[in-house]
Structure 1
Amino acid sequence: MLSVRNNLPAAVVLGCANTELSDEELDLFKELNPFGFILFERNCKSPGQVVELVRSLRDSVKREDAPVLIDQEGGNVQRLKPPHWNNIPSAELLGLIYDVNNKRGLETSYTAGRLIASELATLEISVNCAPVLDVFFESTTKALAGRTYSSDPSVIINIAKAFYSGLCEGGILPVIKHMPGHGRAKSDSHIDVPKVRASHHDLTNSDFNAFKAFSSAPLGMTAHVMYESLDSNNVATNSSYIIQNIIRQEIGFDGLLFSDDICMGALKGNLTSRCENALNAGCDVVLHCSGNINEMSLIKTFIPSISLECESRWNTALNSISGYKKSGSISEFRTKLEKLLN
């Protein structure tokens, strides 16, 4: 069992089941003091309701800066959907626009990020799990359908930087994912273990490039993918070699590293061993997304507090967007995006 440090939050981000907290969830969150929370479509029915939920979550841990995460990539992965929220173009569409007209593509990507940021800010959500920096291959799993910008890492870098800037300038922290690259995976890590057989050389010259360009990003997320040339026994999330030697050293990422959801099928063992494996490998914080109260109750006595290094990384992340002015309205960016898309 990992040691627990007093006065620091637990190294886990938790989901909740519905649109408001149950008494049981409230009691658990107060006791466990998770690092943060993550929202899904099941939690988001109307703007006012989401704001109340977000405030309830932060109040449960008595931390105004407790991160509240969401996956608002655009396209197939949008937890906030019409009619209350705007439809955001997919990464694939942003890539196609860029291919036709580079300047327009970058402006569209920036505006999409800025519109998302404006909507999230009004809901008091602070972190968006995007952009996806994975390289597209013809064999890429359908789980990433529409979620990748391009098969060319240099194009991914250009588009993602514009999208990333839009989020940051709206006061929202982006999470780059899925490190060190999910694009070669042929199977869905929600269901099974994707195994990538590419050589270290090929991965370095393609998949890692976009992440290297974002090595100074303050937040990142691992891939539940096994890279057989790097570690033939563990997915990246559970591999100390991949996290320390590839993500931290070769890619140069020194930000706060989240695991992908520990409930996914690519991970083996019970929930406590999944948490232990990810944290021992070098993830700063694990994600538990299902909102299952029984599962959360099971791991509450096991999850350690975040490390002092993790706390420092989170403070660095907050400082990275502290100087941005959150100017501009949702309607302004919606109108601009509509013009760019037409």
Structure 2
Amino acid sequence: DSLMRTLTPRQRVAQLFMVAAYSNKTRLDEDSVSTLIKDYGIGGLIFFQGGPVHQTRLLNRYQSQSRVPLLVAMDGEWGAGMRLDSVLRFPYQMSLGAVPAADSALIYDMGREVARQFTRLGMQVNFAPVVDVNNNPANPVIGFRAWGENPAAVARLSRLYMRGMQAAGVLAVAKHFPGHGDVDADSHLALPLVRVDKGRLDSLELPPFKSMIASGIGGMMVAHLNVPALDNSGAPTTLSQPVVTGLLRQRLGFKGVVFTDAMNMKGVISKVPTGEAEIRALLAGNDVLEFSKNVPLALQAVLAAVDSGRIAQARIDESCRRVLALKQWAGLRKYRPIAEQNLFADLNPPHARYLSHRLAEHSITLLRNQRNILPLQRLDTLRLATLVLGGSPADTTDFQRAVADYDAQAAHFHLPAAPTLDELADIRAKLFSYDVVLVALQSLGRLPATNFGIAPEAQLLLRELTKPGQQVVLSVFGSAYAVAKVRDYDRASAVVLAYQESVDAQRLAAQLIFGGIGARGKLPVTVANNLPAGFGLTTQPGLRLRYAHPEDAGMDNRLEARVDSLMQQALQAGATPGGQVLIARRGVVVLRKSYGYQASNGASKLPIPTEQNGALAPGAGNFGSEPGSTRSAGPAA
């Protein structure tokens, strides 16, 4: 209240605007944000794509230009890495929806770690979790971003993620109220119509939001939807007083901060022009206007509406007070510039990588296992081949490298996602003599309308490969819904669903196939009549070595740094030109790394080839150097 009294009516309105900022654009774009801060007094920023170092420098600059500390947000559904390069990405929400209930406390730990990322980057608000119940497989915008189709499970996982974040001092924002899970249009491009009655909303879409409110969530994001059951005027829900004030505030009793979804999306501006849209959003009961298409125009329109009496000053003050209270809660009164020193290490600590690996391991789901083919037995009697469909033919994938850890004799093949008929015939002939073919569907798309990128040519090849006489293990590195798009998935001997194409997902799928880990994941959504939500076969771990982190073997996560230091000392002292280190404990390989060269005499120095690492156990295969990491791209939120 003391700060409120120092703000003019214009400044109070400006506090309600949250402006888009990027750390990968031009100096002109950066200067335009500075202008909005210095000349217009905006209240907050939402950061989008870029990198952590430049974002840190920009944010320090922006905060120094603002009279009132800026409230800073990001879409971090799977962490700050959703928007920033060089930052660890946790698994997608649908991947995490597959984690068995007994292990779901890990989601709380993830929430705390994501909040730690945000705090280290000087951000106070995470537009997460996605609380939508994704019960429409054709949903073009939510899909893998949702926990699943069961309202109770969505509520439980959302609560865990929210509590972890807020316990660590970052505001969680549930989205997309009143429920974006059953739509067939993308609100970035159009206004989706939700064709359900109040009874359905009360039983399916709304319960997770009610649960979040009862559990103390501090933020709520309202979506751009047309929901006639809640407002028959055709207005987007963001601009609907019956939805924002009547339902969210009054009926559900939400007392926190209400954010609009981005006000530049076609879901709103295709119906109402910029300026008028912001006026209606405030009249509806929203507190923060996110990403207006034209901030000066919108700000002037709102001020004119206040001057004319269309918007009461009390309505502005109510929202401004909430925004300032949030800044107080987030500690912005004691704001200090963000330190750049050790930024990358702080954002990617060993314990976070270990947590992400554990989450991925618990999510991998086994959908089919005819005659208990998995885990593969007696590798000495089998001729194995891998076939990756999709991606670059020049690169051996992390999945293939992980397979080689167990079977150094396995042959590896690759085809583009849409191979030619000649390529199909050639690969079919090459694979004919192998007992087991491990097929990996990679580079999958995110849109159901495009069959998730599964081409007809790939379907034809899978039909040929799954004919009697050859065993095929199919691994799907994409959406759970993509499995149903594989016409002959039920002809495969086994089907492994990894949900995404991260390094962890690829390596863990291979470990499951060979028995390094067991299968424990459960489908978060219904894929087919014989694959309902909650389905998932189990296998026992421990048949062969598994590859994990030191913590999995009861060891310190600083192990690698200590070994690096020792090996560096040996190399510098000339004790050896190079060497290899492999550490395993309790059946877990926790480190495998090559250092230096084979010899130091002469002008030519040959790096130690990975194939010189020896097998550790019967059937375990050879262990190479730790492969470099890759990352999968995140969508616009």
TM-score where L is the length of structure 2: 0.47
User: Between the two proteins, what is the percent identity of the paired residues?
Assistant: 24
8 Å CA contact 2:77, 2:127 repeated in 1: yes
Q: 1:78 aligns with which of 82, 91, 99?
A: 82
Q: Give the root-mean-square deviation of aligned CA atoms.
A: 2.6
- 2:18 match: secondary structure: strand
- 2:175 match: secondary structure: strand
8 Å CA contact 2:134, 2:143 repeated in 1: no
- 2:169 match: secondary structure: coil
After TM superposition, the structure 1 = structure 2 runs for residues 100-179 of structure 1, keeping only pairs within 5 Å, are 101-107=100-106, 109-139=107-137, 141-179=139-177
- Range that drifts further, 310-319 or 281-290: 310-319
Partner amino acid, structure 2, of 1:125: M
Match of 1:288 in 2: 291
- 2:280 match: secondary structure: helix
Q: 1:88 aligns with which of 78, 87, 90?
A: 90
Match of 2:253 in 1: 252
TM superposition shift of 1:51? 1.3
The answer to whether 1:49 aligns with 2:58 is no
8 Å CA contact 1:73, 1:129 repeated in 2: yes
Match of 2:228 in 1: 228
| CA deviation map 1:181-204 (0-9, x unaligned) | 111222110111111121111101
TM superposition shift of 1:303? 4.0
Match of 2:9 in 1: 5
8 Å CA contact 1:178, 1:221 repeated in 2: yes
8 Å CA contact 1:133, 1:210 repeated in 2: yes
Match of 1:184 in 2: 182
Change (3 A) 1:75 1:308: closer
TM-score where L is the length of structure 1: 0.85
Partner amino acid, structure 1, of 2:316: S
TM superposition shift of 1:157? 1.2
Match of 2:535 in 1: none
8 Å CA contact 2:175, 2:222 repeated in 1: yes
Partner amino acid, structure 2, of 1:62: R
| CA deviation map 1:102-147 (0-9, x unaligned) | 121231x122222211211111111110001111112452211211
| CA deviation map 1:62-81 (0-9, x unaligned) | 223x2101001029991124
The answer to whether 1:38 aligns with 2:53 is no
After TM superposition, the structure 1 = structure 2 runs for residues 187-336 of structure 1, keeping only pairs within 5 Å, are 187-215=185-213, 216-232=216-232, 233-267=234-268, 268-288=271-291, 295-304=294-303, 307-317=316-326, 330-336=349-355
Partner amino acid, structure 2, of 1:338: H
Partner amino acid, structure 2, of 1:238: L
Match of 2:521 in 1: none
Partner amino acid, structure 2, of 1:213: S
Change (3 A) 1:318 1:75: closer
Q: 1:339 aligns with which of 343, 350, 358?
A: 358
**Quick one: distance in 1 between partners of 2:330 and 2:260?**
22
| CA deviation map 1:157-214 (0-9, x unaligned) | 1111111122123221111111111112221101111111211111011111111111
Partner amino acid, structure 2, of 1:68: V
**Quick one: distance in 2 between partners of 1:337 and 1:169?**
19
Match of 2:518 in 1: none
Partner amino acid, structure 2, of 1:208: L
Change (3 A) 1:175 1:253: same
8 Å CA contact 2:129, 2:158 repeated in 1: yes
Structure with greater Cα Rg: 2
**Quick one: distance in 1 between partners of 2:126 and 2:98?**
23
TM superposition shift of 1:319? 6.3
8 Å CA contact 2:36, 2:42 repeated in 1: no
- 1:164 match: secondary structure: helix
8 Å CA contact 1:224, 1:237 repeated in 2: yes
**Quick one: distance in 1 between partners of 2:112 and 2:22?**
29
Change (3 A) 1:333 1:18: closer
Change (3 A) 1:188 1:171: same
Match of 2:21 in 1: 16
| CA deviation map 1:248-278 (0-9, x unaligned) | 1222212111110111011123211111121
Structure 2 unaligned regions, length at least 5: 1-7, 304-312, 332-346, 362-637
8 Å CA contact 1:128, 1:174 repeated in 2: yes
Partner amino acid, structure 1, of 2:95: L
Match of 1:325 in 2: none
**Quick one: distance in 2 between partners of 1:37 and 1:75?**
17
- Range that drifts further, 114-123 or 127-136: 114-123
8 Å CA contact 1:259, 1:286 repeated in 2: yes
More relative contact order in 1 or in 2 (CA 8 Å, sep 6+)?
A: 1
**Quick one: distance in 1 between partners of 2:321 and 2:58?**
27
Partner amino acid, structure 2, of 1:103: A
**Quick one: distance in 2 between partners of 1:231 and 1:237?**
11
**Quick one: distance in 1 between partners of 2:80 and 2:348?**
24
Structure 1 unaligned regions, length at least 5: 323-327
- 1:150 match: secondary structure: coil
Change (3 A) 1:275 1:201: same
**Quick one: distance in 2 between partners of 1:188 and 1:329?**
33
